[in-house]
Chains A and B, each alone.
With several copies, the nearest count.
Chain A
Amino acid sequence: MDFNDTPEEAKFRAEARAFLEKNCSPKGSDKERLSRRLSTEEYVKAAKAYQKKKAEAGFAGITWAKEQGGRGLPPIYAVIFNQEEAKFDAPSQPFAIGLGMCVPTVIAFGDDATKDRYVAKALRGEEIWCQLFSEPGAGSDVAASKTKAVRDGDDWVINGQKVWTTGAHFCDFGIVLVRTNPDVEKHKGLTMFIVDMKAPGVEVRQIHQASGGREFNEVYFTDVRVPDKNRLGEPGMGWNVALVTLMNERLAVGGSTGPDYAEILELARTMPSPTGQGTLVQDEAFRQKLADWIVKAEGYKLSKFRTMTALSRGQTPGPESSIGKVINANHLMDICNTAIESMDHYGIINDGDLMPMEAAFQQGYMWAPGLRIAGGTDEILKNIIAERVLGLPQDVRVDKGVAFKDLPSGR
């Protein structure tokens, strides 16, 4: 066991840091962040410029093959770059899904002409991608997608609705999972397409979240024409394509989700205890909870180190990395709720100017329920652990051997 970089890794880390110091500011307070200071339009522009620099410096597509414009390095190098980048206020967010999930799918399933058209432009930050899978009636059960595409000459005509699409309002292209054959089993009638988000008939509407924010979108398709050459994989093979996209999701997801044990400990030093004696940090009930949070947060962090070790040995991390989200969402909710409740009546105030840590605990309280759902609910992730890690049998499937159109789907 050894927490140090190899000499090669250390060299790469130094290069990355030099690049970042030149092109980004170190992380300051929340309010000073680019994402808060700039309008969405300005932020996307900054992101594109930053991505271009990354590409020029060899920090885009670190693990991608050289023929795709990548650097062909093992995954640990991408982890190292991400670790360093996380210390800076780098506008990389708009590219996370496109470069992490969509374009790798294009690389895996596109023909040479398709790859030539899209991959380099994405890597250089000229075009941003989004992922169009979830639907109002197909959340946990993504394969139940109803948005349909019908062949018409050399084109396909898409009608339907996708939902929870991150960044759809500023994206150039998307990969969309649609039903091309409702007469076969659910998983067998899907096809994946590249869709131009500026094409006629594509309408993007922002979703107003329960937390008040508007980070996600609904995307409506009305007679949207997509040429057949935009198809990824054979007709009916869309589910297999989607699985590749989703497998990349686990590697793409990460990063901080909100206040953690260090922040609530800082709060507790000044907050009165609920018993009226001393400060919260002197309250043993708080201290016991704090210990549990330390154990979980450190356990999660250290588990990622184990994953990184596996990566550096050339192994692919499996579905066991699902534990992160199961831990983190509830961890965040619990910390924020405890922090708010410890403030007593005052905790109800949700105003960054008045509240400790710019109301980060209040914001986390409102955001955490979404985190328990986004990218797979707690329940789905536990199913994944049970089935794919522990090898437990699937639940009884009532959708096997039935044509999609004949499946019950509720109201």
Chain B
Amino acid sequence: MNFDFSDDQKSLRDEARKFLTDKAGAKVTRRVLNDAAISYDEGLWKAVAEMGWLGAAIPEEHGGLGLGRLELCVLAEELGRAVAPIPFSSTVYFFAEALMLAGSDAQKAAHLPKVASGETIGCFALSEGPGAPTAASVQAKFDGATLNGVKIPVTDGDVAGWAVVVAKEGSGVSLVLVDLNQAGVTRETLKTLDPTRGHAKLEFKNAKAERLGAAGQGWELSEAVLDRAAVLLAFEQVGGSQACLEMATDYAKNRYAFSRQIGSFQAIKHKLADMYVAIEVARSNAYYGAWALSTEAAELPFAAAAARAAGSDAYYLCAKENIQTHGGMGFTWEVDCHLFYRRAKLLALQAGGPAAWKEKLVRRLERRNAA
């Protein structure tokens, strides 16, 4: 029985935390928050690329570090904790994972090295409007060479150079690889609840595109990409939740009301204990997802859904109760509570909302039981 990260992985975590404390954190996130003209921090992006993190899980032959997914989970937790304002998840959890999952050798060779170096920002375009997408609801259309349709919202779609797009092809669905810097692509920046990350509406009009993976396999591939991303996002959620708990705990120890530390009041104690319990549940489920992801276990779909459901609920709880613990201060722009509250919602929605994932979890349990 070894259900924990290795000492090497823990060293990586310590290193990552030190690096991000230095190079990221609220001050960097706020640069993006307060400047409507930018939607990610270029300096941090470059620094992260230089650390090799963008290629952590990319094989060495494609310019990556060739580490495992467990190492990527470690990094994800730290990026979540730092509320990092960079298109890391879109590029690494979605775009690169889609390429590694479905790409031809040529596609991998063309794109992965640029991802690893930080040259290519990638994104994943699935949603086409309100509600959880289904295979049947996809309207974007690929004819083997060109793509037409509208994707909204696309996280980091405003700054990405390339997109993996889920599109109809004939009677099926395919994944499609598209260069976003072409005449056939129009982008419209979107205002969102989390301005520390970019979002766009992407419109494709006869945009040149190529298939990623087999024709008609797009929905299954999309689900597989979402499962992988779900585990990695769950680590971001755990990291963010943990940061909220630490922030609230610190405040509760130092803030006085009625001449006592507010952390000595049971209402605050039990609130923070509830956060702790939610995080432990989320963390354990995330670890299981990490194990399944790293070993390509058959349990991955189930584990990913559980990790995502637990992570989304925990982060929402922790983000809102962190504000509440801070009282009036927590509701000011200057105090960082709202950065987490905003990011919590983005992470809960980016790969599909909680109710849809809970339904997936139950379906996967039923499938497992039937097997």
Contact = CB atoms under 8 A, between A and B. Distances in A.
Contacts of B349: 340-341, 343-345, 347-348
B2 interface: yes
A344 B346 CA distance: 10
A342 B131 contact: yes
A127 B265 CA distance: 42
Size class of A's contact patch? 35 or more
B354 A392 contact: no
B277 A306 contact: no
Contact of B276 (A341, A351, A390): A390
Given A2-B2, A291-B359, A390 B249 contact: yes
Interface stretch (B55-63, B97-105, B122-130, B167-175): B122-130
B355 A285 contact: yes
B323 A272 contact: no
A140 B327 CA distance: 8
B1 A9 contact: yes
Contact of B191 (A144, A265, A350): A350
A188 B290 CA distance: 49
A379 B266 contact: yes
B281 A299 contact: yes
A296 B281 contact: yes
Contacts of A395: 258, 264-266, 269
B206 interface: no
Contact of A344 (B127, B270, B291, B309): B127
A46 to B, nearest CB: 28
Contact of A1 (B2, B252, B266, B353): B2
A210 B341 contact: yes
B358 A271 contact: no
Contacts of A221: none
A348 B269 contact: no
Interface stretch (A51-59, A152-160, A320-328): A320-328
B133 to A, nearest CB: 7
Given A1-B4, A349-B199, A390 B273 contact: yes
B194 A320 contact: no
A280 B132 CA distance: 10
Contacts of B273: 326, 381-383, 385-386, 390
A3 B291 contact: yes
Contacts of A310: 4
A271 B310 CA distance: 24
Nearest to B1: A308
B260 A275 contact: no
B193 A294 contact: no
Interface stretch (A19-27, A36-44, A98-106, A365-373): A365-373
B264 A393 contact: yes
B153 A396 contact: no
Contacts, number: 341
Contacts of B259: 141, 144, 186, 398-399, 402, 407-409
B21 interface: no
Contact of A369 (B126, B310, B341, B348): B341
B254 interface: yes
A396 B264 contact: yes
A76 interface: yes
Contacts of A305: 1, 3, 284
Interface string B288-308: 101100110000000001100
A291 B132 contact: no
Contact of B192 (A144, A292, A308, A348): A348
B361 A294 contact: yes
Contacts of B253: 391-393
Among B254, B273, B290, B351, find the residue whose CB has the most chain A CB atoms closer than 10 A. Answer: B273
A209 B1 contact: no
A291 B134 CA distance: 20
A303 B356 contact: no
A276 B134 contact: yes
Interface in A348-387: 348-351, 354, 356, 362, 365-366, 369-370, 372-374, 377-379, 381-383, 385-387
Contact of B284 (A208, A272, A303, A385): A303
A151 interface: no
A73 interface: no
10 contacts: A210-B335, A281-B366, A288-B359, A299-B281, A301-B284, A341-B349, A344-B127, A345-B126, A365-B345, A396-B264
Given A300-B284, A323-B277, A365-B193, 6 more contacts: A209-B332, A210-B332, A295-B361, A346-B131, A382-B269, A392-B261
The 8 residue pairs across chains A and B that have the minimum distance between CB atoms: A272-B131, A299-B281, A291-B358, A386-B269, A302-B284, A210-B338, A274-B355, A410-B256
